[in-house]
C-alpha cells in the first residue's frame, strides 16, 4: 500500500482468499483518513482480481476498530469534512463483488461498527463489543450507522443504539441480527478464514450473483426483487461451472471449477 506507513495490511493466499487487516495498534485501530484511504485502495484492487474469491476483513485479536480518530474531527468544519469525500473509500468496500467476512475481536465502535457492517458476514468473538456512540461526542453515524443498521435490525433496535450510544455484546448483536455468528475469541480469525476458503471453493459466478441479488433486492419491491433473482439464476445456466458442478454431483465426484 502507498503511504509512509502501512496502516492496512493486505495478504493474498493461494486458496483464493485475501486478508485485509487494520494495523494501528497504538490507536486501537482508530480509523483516521489514511486508514480509510488505504482500505479503499485495498478493496478497489480486488474488484477485477479473479484470483481473489473471498475476503476476510479484520483488526487484531484485541480490537477490530475502536471508531474514528477524533483528533482529525475536533477542529474540522462542515466544508472541510465534505471535501474529504470519505464516502468514496466506503463505496469501494460496498462495491466489492467478492463476499467479505468481517472477523471481529474486541471493540467495533462507531466507524468500526460501520466498517464491520460493510461486510457480508460478521463473525464476532464472545468478548466483542459493538456500538454507535457518536451521539456522545455531538455527531451521528455518517457511514451507515443509521441506515445499514436499521435495515439489519429494524427501527427500534437501531434507535436504541444510535440514541443511547450504548455498547452491545456479540451475543446481543447476534440476537438483534447484526452479527452472523459468535465464537470463542481465540477462534474468530480461524473461523472466518475457514468460511472464506469454503466459499472460495464454490462456483465463483454463482457466489457473486447470490451476493449481488441479496444486496440489490433489499431496496426493491418483492415483485421486482423476485424478477431480478429469477433472471440472475437463468443467466447462470450459461456458465461452464454450472454444467460441471451439476455433472459432478450426479457422477458423485469433486467438480473441477474454473470460475467461468
Share of the chain above pLDDT 70, in %: 98
* Measured CA angle at 159 (ends 113, 35), to 5 deg: 20
Q: Would you state the pLDDT for residue 149?
A: 95
When pLDDT is cut at 50, 70 and 90, the band that residue 172 belongs to is very high
Please name the fold of domain 8-200: 2-enoyl-CoA Hydratase; Chain A, domain 1 (3.90.226)
User: Quick check: 204 pLDDT over 60?
Assistant: yes
User: Quick check: 71 pLDDT over 50?
Assistant: yes
User: From start to end of the chain, where are the E strands?
Assistant: 8-12, 17-22, 54-58, 100-104, 107-109, 121-125, 129-131, 167-169, 181-183
Would residue 114 show up in a list of annotated catalytic residues for this protein? yes
Name the one residue in this structure whose C-alpha cell is 485475501: 18
H/E stretch holding 40: helix 33-46
Q: Which of 68, 170, 192, 196 is an active site residue? A: 68
| Nearest-angstrom CA–CA distance, 120 and 102 | 8
When pLDDT is cut at 50, 70 and 90, the band that residue 170 belongs to is very high
CA-based nearest residue to 35, from 97, 114, 105: 114
Q: Which of 134, 152, 158, 229 is an active site residue? A: 134
When pLDDT is cut at 50, 70 and 90, the band that residue 219 belongs to is confident
Q: Which three cell numbers stand for residue 20?
A: 485485509
Q: Would you state the pLDDT for residue 160?
A: 96
The overall longest dimension of the chain from CA atoms, in Å, is 66
C-beta contacts of 222-226 below 8 A and 24+ residues apart: none
Task: Write out pLDDT tens, residues 3-25.
Answer: 456 899 999 999 999 999 999 99
Q: Which of 59, 67, 108, 114 is an active site residue? A: 114
Task: Show Cβ contacts of residue 5 under 8 Å, excluding neighbours closer than 6 positions.
Answer: 34
When pLDDT is cut at 50, 70 and 90, the band that residue 1 belongs to is very low
Give, in order, the Cα–Cα distances in Å from 236 to each of 209, 214, 224.
9, 16, 19
For residues 63-89, give the mean pLDDT: 83
Sequential DSSP letters for 197-213: HHHHTS-HHHHHHHHHH
Would residue 217 show up in a list of annotated catalytic residues for this protein? no
Q: Would you state the pLDDT for residue 2?
A: 41
φ/ψ (deg, to 5) at 126: -60, -30
Q: Which of 111, 112, 131, 145 is an active site residue? A: 111
Would residue 134 show up in a list of annotated catalytic residues for this protein? yes
SS3 103: strand
Q: Would you state the pLDDT for residue 229?
A: 95
In angstroms, the first-to-last Cα distance of the chain is 30
Average pLDDT value for the chain = 93
Would residue 144 show up in a list of annotated catalytic residues for this protein? no
CATH (one of 1.10.12, 1.25.40, 2.60.40, 1.10.260) for 204-250: 1.10.12
Task: Write out pLDDT tens, residues 22-66.
Answer: 999 999 999 999 999 999 999 999 999 999 999 999 999 999 999
Q: What are the extents of the domains in the chain?
A: 8-200, 204-250
| Nearest-angstrom CA–CA distance, 98 and 31 | 23
| Nearest-angstrom CA–CA distance, 22 and 98 | 19
For residues 232-256, give the mean pLDDT: 95
Amino acid at each position: 500500500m502507498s503511504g509512509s506507513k502501512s496502516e492496512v495490511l493486505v495478504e493474498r493466499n493461494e486458496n483464493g482468499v485475501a486478508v485485509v487487516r487494520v494495523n494501528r495498534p497504538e490507536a486501537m485501530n482508530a480509523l483516521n483518513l489514511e486508514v480509510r484511504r488505504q482500505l479503499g485502495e485495498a478493496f478497489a484492487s480486488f474488484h477485477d482480481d479473479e484470483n481473489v474469491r473471498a475476503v476476510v476483513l479484520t483488526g487484531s485479536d484485541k480490537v477490530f476498530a475502536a471508531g474514528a480518530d477524533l483528533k482529525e474531527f475536533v477542529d474540522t468544519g462542515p466544508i472541510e469534512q465534505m471535501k474529504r469525500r470519505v464516502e468514496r473509500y466506503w463505496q469501494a468496500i460496498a462495491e466489492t463483488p467478492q463476499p467479505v467476512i468481517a472477523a471481529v475481536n474486541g471493540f467495533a465502535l462507531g466507524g468500526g461498527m460501520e466498517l464491520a457492517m460493510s461486510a457480508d458476514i460478521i463473525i464476532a468473538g464472545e468478548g466483542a463489543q459493538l456500538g454507535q456512540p457518536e451521539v456522545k461526542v455531538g455527531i451521528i453515524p455518517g457511514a451507515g450507522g443509521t441506515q445499514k443498521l436499521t435495515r439489519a435490525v429494524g427501527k427500534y433496535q437501531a434507535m436504541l443504539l444510535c440514541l443511547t450510544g450504548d455498547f452491545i455484546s456479540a451475543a446481543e448483536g447476534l440476537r438483534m441480527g447484526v452479527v452472523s455468528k459468535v465464537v470463542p475469541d481465540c477462534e474468530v480469525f480461524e473461523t472466518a478464514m475457514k468460511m472464506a476458503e469454503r466459499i472460495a471453493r464454490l462456483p465463483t459466478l454463482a457466489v457473486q450473483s447470490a451476493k449481488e441479488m441479496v444486496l440489490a433486492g433489499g431496496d426493491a419491491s418483492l415483485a421486482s426483487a423476485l424478477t431480478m433473482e429469477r433472471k440472475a439464476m437463468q443467466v447462470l445456466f450459461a456458465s461452464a461451472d454450472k454444467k460441471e458442478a451439476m455433472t459432478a454431483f450426479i457422477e458423485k465426484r469433486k467438480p473441477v471449477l474454473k470460475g467461468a
